Structure 1
């Protein structure tokens, strides 16, 4: 059962990953032809089902391509939701091939909605993120920035952006984009009332063979419009050009301003056709302006004056609203905020580096201090042990040079005394060979020798001197440490020092064996209870 569940999970994960891979490939395929066939791309993109299981990367890529297709097909250009999805995802990356595109289309959606402050910020961000492979989009960004400046009556800044775009398109040999930029340049010259420069560009474009129809339509209508508003107006030529455009592209190629200009040109050139169906309550600035001009042309000065006053009010309101959106100030504030952000990051980065360096130096100093202390301690210990070893070596040499000869002589003397009694016994044994009671005689002589050992003070002193030399003045020290001991206690201790057992000590001292054991026990207890520094030596001697 568990194996079955695991298999289902694995199959689901595998299917999901395969689905995401297939979707990614499909999106890449759409991206490959979206510029040449935006309508086909839009149909394909619209048919793709994006659900909660779609990966964030594919969702962002789909939103970007959808926004691109809508923009290129001039559909729902004010909808910024798709561009926001794409820009929010790609803005997470410092560098990404789609980041510039996402920011560009978000800026354009703000432009179409009249949110010029937001538009210029996103377009500036798009310009900053553009890489080496985004040159074409950099030109498009400049054109969009020019549109923002045009909407806010800053035609000089618009001209600067258009010139930059023209240079970019020319370097890329992007012919169509180059012509569109020149068309926008002519329109900007017209806004600046530099009509001669504008007309020259329109004429150059209209004389190009096989000019794209959309560019041709805008160029011929723009030239006709110019001829109706310029000081050297030529309404007959304007009417002719509008007629060519209408015949070739139909009346739907005219916007509101073109329709009014066409009507005005017709009336001024002697025609009677009115192409404008505009209600009396149409209060747009364009309609009011052209109603004013037509009323003036028709000699209705009262109405013309009223319309002119209304147009001035409308125009002042529009200009005031546009100027409130100070694009230059917005862009300056954006750059200032970016500059402050970068300076703040630089300060933080510098502070972080400084903290890391100081921490590293402190850590290095602490480690070095510990190492030096350890080395110093080791050296001190080494010197201490070397000094100790030298002292031991010196003491050993002293013992070798001084004590060993003395020890040898003491050993020889002791060795001789050990056999002195045996020699006397041998002499007595030899001398008593002729006696019949020789056993009693030898026993008597042995007892006389033992009695002499007990009573001979000189022999006792010589015996203790020998012990003092061999055992670090043990007899002198014990007499000093325990002055309340009896002489028999010292005798017993001295015999124990040379290894005599209780029976031998009893025979030598004439004390009973039980008394010897009692005294030995009492001596041991008193030594154990004492605080003398020689206590351990005394106890080792007693065994």
Structure 2
């Protein structure tokens, strides 16, 4: 009863512990709701998440999931952050889990945060994207794969690895095309065009940017058209194609899409006027643009150089070219002073690989220790169980022997029974008491051991008591027609051991009981009895049949 109550309390404790370490269903349903609507209704998803009490989110997995969903909802709401508190916690959990999809999502969000933190974090952001691509090999999420590839291209571009950037952009565009995501596909074309310009592959750049512009015109996305047209204007200057420049300037007015970059547009208009010989108008536009708070001095100084060059003022053109080159040199120096991205990635990858190897070795070592401890515990438990089993079997054997002794006693003549009673009642009363204790306390291993030890002690004392053995032989001779006396006369050269076996047989003991008294086994006892009978039969005497019959009794 006490054991049952204890088991109930243990079960209740386990249940309470499980409940206390898990997120309640209401909080979890809010998280799932926010996750399901994050892309289509990001503002509503953010409101749902704001209603979640973070203190109610329990367990490492649920906390990591909350962090992942929160970072994605902020991303879909265009709420940028350079703090990696959310994403780093999610990444640390999922990297050591089998949840490949969630891990790839967390790594992607983490890369965006690191990218926003600045140039010094680009290598770490790239490593996150590389790991995300590995996890996506086991997941069917083409959209996430495309986003990862595009961000990878952005980081390569920021690190001036333009060939790598184009490769990533091309792979991303292929994924977006398969998904039918036209806006994202056109955005990648814009990125590819800007990258081609950096590589001085101007006609490749024009082809990509024209395709992107066609999409913007078709869907009337003015902001997108504005960004593409600014890149195309720069391209026309690099190509020294003023007719093309004039055409793209006209497209701004045609689509009413000059939403930003007014200073850049002013520089382009000034260069076009100077190409027509209208120097004063061109310089006036530049001066007005320089007064604007968002003036781009690099563009405007380059515009002055073009103006003076177009009107034939070589001296002024040379002066402004020197200024423009000075700014370009400063920019180039800044670029050269930046760490080489691919070297950073390689070095960081080595450190990450070393850390992963160390973690793997620690896990393997811990696993080996746990397995060794488990094997030792199992072995010790098995040995204890085996020992207890042997004790129980021995006790059961002695109990059965007691029963056989009682049965054997019932089978001998009544006169012999009364004589034998004096032999075993004083000795076997202790065994009977121990048997009662055994059955009363059969659930206690301690009492079983006590019974076994006491029983062994009692039987050992009995089988070595020469006085009792002599008394037993006298009783057998008196009440069984002198069987032992006749056997000694017939076979005087038998061993004392053989005489003992014959005595116990004449007294009605079983082979198992005799085996205990002579420290042997039932098979050996049977062989001894058989040998005695054979020797008896080899002698001519009137006692042969009686002795053989007595030895054959069971």
TM class, shorter-length: 0.5 to 0.7
Question: How far does residue 277 in structure 1 lie from its aligned partner after superposition?
Answer: 0.8
Task: Classify 1:207/1:171 alpha carbon distance in 2 versus 1 (closer, same or farther; 3 Å).
Answer: closer
Task: Classify 1:144/1:368 alpha carbon distance in 2 versus 1 (closer, same or farther; 3 Å).
Answer: closer
Structure 1 alignment gaps of length 5 or more = 1-16, 35-40, 408-543
Distance 1:107 1:182 in 2: 22
Distance 1:197 1:97 in 2: 36
Contact 2:39 2:76 in 1 (8 A): no
> 1:177-326 counterparts in 2 under 5 A?
177-207=184-214, 210-211=218-219, 213=221, 214-230=223-239, 233-254=240-261, 257=264, 259-270=266-277, 272-273=281-282, 274=285, 277-278=289-290, 285-297=298-310, 298-299=313-314, 300-321=316-337, 323-324=338-339, 326=340
Provide, for residues 97-125 of structure 1, a one-character-per-residue CA deviation record: whole Å limited to 9, x for no partner. 66655543453344345343454345445
RMSD of aligned residue pairs (Cα, Å): 4.6
1:353 aligns with 2:367: yes
Match of 1:338 in 2: 352
Distance 2:383 2:71 in 1: 61
Distance 2:387 2:103 in 1: 58
Distance 2:470 2:177 in 1: 103
Provide, for residues 406-440 of structure 1, a one-character-per-residue CA deviation record: whole Å limited to 9, x for no partner. 99xxxxxxxxxxxxxxxxxxxxxxxxxxxxxxxxx
Match of 1:92 in 2: 93
Structure 2 alignment gaps of length 5 or more = 1-23, 58-62, 398-451, 483-554
Contact 2:38 2:72 in 1 (8 A): yes
Provide, for residues 477-522 of structure 1, a one-character-per-residue CA deviation record: whole Å limited to 9, x for no partner. xxxxxxxxxxxxxxxxxxxxxxxxxxxxxxxxxxxxxxxxxxxxxx
Match of 2:82 in 1: 80
Greater shift, 178-187 or 104-113, is seen at: 104-113
1:108 aligns with 2:116: no
Provide, for residues 232-279 of structure 1, a one-character-per-residue CA deviation record: whole Å limited to 9, x for no partner. x21121122122124423433436555534433443354544366125
Match of 1:165 in 2: 172
Contact 1:291 1:307 in 2 (8 A): no
Question: How far does residue 158 in structure 1 lie from its aligned partner after superposition?
Answer: 0.7
In structure 1, which of residues 105, 120, 127 is the aligned counterpart of residue 126 of structure 2? 120
Match of 1:399 in 2: 474
Q: TM-score, normalised by structure 2?
A: 0.55
Provide, for residues 289-318 of structure 1, a one-character-per-residue CA deviation record: whole Å limited to 9, x for no partner. 555444544531442353144224312332
Task: Classify 1:258/1:189 alpha carbon distance in 2 versus 1 (closer, same or farther; 3 Å).
Answer: farther
Q: TM-score, normalised by structure 1?
A: 0.56
> 1:419-438 counterparts in 2 under 5 A?
none
Provide, for residues 5-61 of structure 1, a one-character-per-residue CA deviation record: whole Å limited to 9, x for no partner. xxxxxxxxxxxx898589658745752524xxxxxx448847986697775569757
Distance 1:47 1:331 in 2: 38
Task: Classify 1:54/1:262 alpha carbon distance in 2 versus 1 (closer, same or farther; 3 Å).
Answer: farther
Contact 2:229 2:248 in 1 (8 A): yes
Task: Classify 1:267/1:104 alpha carbon distance in 2 versus 1 (closer, same or farther; 3 Å).
Answer: farther
Contact 2:298 2:327 in 1 (8 A): yes
Task: Classify 1:256/1:132 alpha carbon distance in 2 versus 1 (closer, same or farther; 3 Å).
Answer: farther
Distance 2:390 2:35 in 1: 70
Question: How far does residue 398 in structure 1 lie from its aligned partner after superposition?
Answer: 2.9
Secondary structure of 1:329's aligned partner: helix
> 1:360-509 counterparts in 2 under 5 A?
360-367=374-381, 385=459, 389=463, 395=470, 398-400=473-475, 402=477
Provide, for residues 432-452 of structure 1, a one-character-per-residue CA deviation record: whole Å limited to 9, x for no partner. xxxxxxxxxxxxxxxxxxxxx
Contact 1:146 1:159 in 2 (8 A): yes
Greater shift, 106-115 or 163-172, is seen at: 106-115
Task: Classify 1:256/1:157 alpha carbon distance in 2 versus 1 (closer, same or farther; 3 Å).
Answer: farther
Question: How far does residue 221 in structure 1 lie from its aligned partner after superposition?
Answer: 3.3
Distance 2:206 2:346 in 1: 34
Secondary structure of 1:193's aligned partner: coil
Q: Report the count of equivalent residues.
A: 376
Question: How far does residue 85 in structure 1 lie from its aligned partner after superposition?
Answer: 3.3
1:328 aligns with 2:304: no
Distance 2:213 2:101 in 1: 37
> 1:55-74 counterparts in 2 under 5 A?
55=56, 60=67, 63-64=70-71, 67-71=74-78
Task: Classify 1:243/1:109 alpha carbon distance in 2 versus 1 (closer, same or farther; 3 Å).
Answer: farther
Contact 2:308 2:317 in 1 (8 A): yes
Contact 1:288 1:310 in 2 (8 A): no
Secondary structure of 1:92's aligned partner: helix
Match of 2:155 in 1: 148
Contact 1:186 1:201 in 2 (8 A): yes
